[in-house]
Copies of this chain bind each other. A is one copy, B any other.
Amino acid sequence: MGEFELIRRHFVRPSPSNTGVVLGIGDDAALLQPSPGLQWVVSCDMLVAGRHFFNDAPPEGLGHKALAVNLSDLAAMGARPVAFTLALALPQANEAWLTAFARGLFALADAHHCSLIGGDTTRGPLNLCLTVMGEIAPGQALRRDAAQVGDDIYISGGLGAAHLALAWLQGQSWAHQAVGPQLPDALRARLERPTPRVALGRALVGVASSAMDLSDGLAGDVQHLLTASGCGAVINLDAASQDPALLALPADLRQRCAAVGGDDYELLFTAASDQRAAVQTAAERSQTSVTRIGHLTAATGVQWQNAGGQRIEAGWQSFDHFAQ
């Protein structure tokens, strides 16, 4: 099967799911009609086999995750997804793999009315690169640089479960001790099928003062928001590590999973303290749980505390692809 037949069979669909798409796959470029007056929100993520996922990762989950991590970036801006491109380097054209990959990809794309409008396929070491585009009204985007001292800090969903699932798959004994000899599907899904918090992100527009998504772990990621906004934080790590999937772990491991575990794709956001009711309303409207985990301070850096307000000493670092 050739490249063009491969594209046709798996990625060209009769009608784009989005009416803003004037011309989809098949020409030199796609054509989109932006909604009048809105801004365009663009993000790009590359997933490499052996680095972001196991070489033998189930392809349906991979199709889901490749798009999910990109939609998560739009969610963190409060944007409505519109369309995406997909570039795919494949060691070989494996029919069954592609069928499952496309199934996972389009199930999530359809759920968000986000159209595949173009891309590229080539032979090479397995690599998935997506660029996703969305829309938002001018001045409404949830940027990282707009948080204010005194604002509350929240997370969506729960942190650390993806890290626990990864540690189990890597054969780490503490994970096997906590989880047991079988990895439950629900826990595995936290790693392989993260839920992009698009509905919550959109509901937080006008409510949150800033937002970002958590991909490399709370401890490292929060620093980017604090640096951009020029402030520090006090974070209650007990509040941040209440995910039910972690309850079998001792407290210190639970905290560690929540603080340094990557792959959560939850939102970290801030809001003024007079917005607490509005934050709850946004959480209910989007059917997404949120937890207040701390507040922003004028003093820079992060002070980690337990539920009793006692300091936790931590030297955690975020995941860095090029760290020595």
Most chain B CB atoms below 10 A, which of A43, A88, A211: A43
Known: A44-B118, A123-B51, A320-B4. A131 touches B212 (CB 8 A): no
Indicate if the CB atoms of A117 and B42 lie closer than 8 Å.
yes
A89 to chain B, nearest CB (A): 5
Minimum CB distance partner of A92 in chain B: B322
**Contact residues in B for A93 (Cβ distance below 8 Å):** 322
Indicate if the CB atoms of B83 and A42 lie closer than 8 Å.
yes
A116 to chain B, nearest CB (A): 11
| A60 within 8 Å of B (CB atoms) | no
**Contact residues in B for A72 (Cβ distance below 8 Å):** 28
Cα distance A22–B140 when bound, in Å? 12
Cα distance A48–B120 when bound, in Å? 11
Minimum CB distance partner of A120 in chain B: B46
Stretch of A74-82, A152-160, A234-242 at the chain-chain interface: A74-82
Known: A23-B141, A29-B74. A85 touches B121 (CB 8 A): no
Complex interface residues of chain A between 25 and 44 (CB less than 8 A to chain B): 26-34, 36-44
Indicate if the CB atoms of A76 and B41 lie closer than 8 Å.
no
Indicate if the CB atoms of A322 and B39 lie closer than 8 Å.
no
Indicate if the CB atoms of B28 and A42 lie closer than 8 Å.
no
Complex interface residues of chain A between 116 and 139 (CB less than 8 A to chain B): 117-125, 127, 129, 131, 133-134, 136, 138
| A87 within 8 Å of B (CB atoms) | yes
| A244 within 8 Å of B (CB atoms) | no
Indicate if the CB atoms of B29 and A76 lie closer than 8 Å.
yes
Indicate if the CB atoms of B122 and A52 lie closer than 8 Å.
yes
**Contact residues in B for A90 (Cβ distance below 8 Å):** 322
A259 to chain B, nearest CB (A): 18
Cα distance A37–B33 when bound, in Å? 8
**Contact residues in B for A86 (Cβ distance below 8 Å):** 44
Cα distance A41–B23 when bound, in Å? 9
**Contact residues in B for A178 (Cβ distance below 8 Å):** none
**Of B49, B74, B77, B87, which one neighbours A45 at CB under 8 angstroms?**
B87
| A213 within 8 Å of B (CB atoms) | yes
| A57 within 8 Å of B (CB atoms) | no
**Contact residues in B for A38 (Cβ distance below 8 Å):** 34
Known: A73-B28, A129-B87. A321 touches B121 (CB 8 A): yes
**Of B41, B49, B122, which one neighbours A31 at CB under 8 angstroms?**
B41
Most chain B CB atoms below 10 A, which of A87, A144, A323: A87
Indicate if the CB atoms of B22 and A43 lie closer than 8 Å.
no
Cα distance A88–B224 when bound, in Å? 21
| A292 within 8 Å of B (CB atoms) | no
**Contact residues in B for A32 (Cβ distance below 8 Å):** 39-42
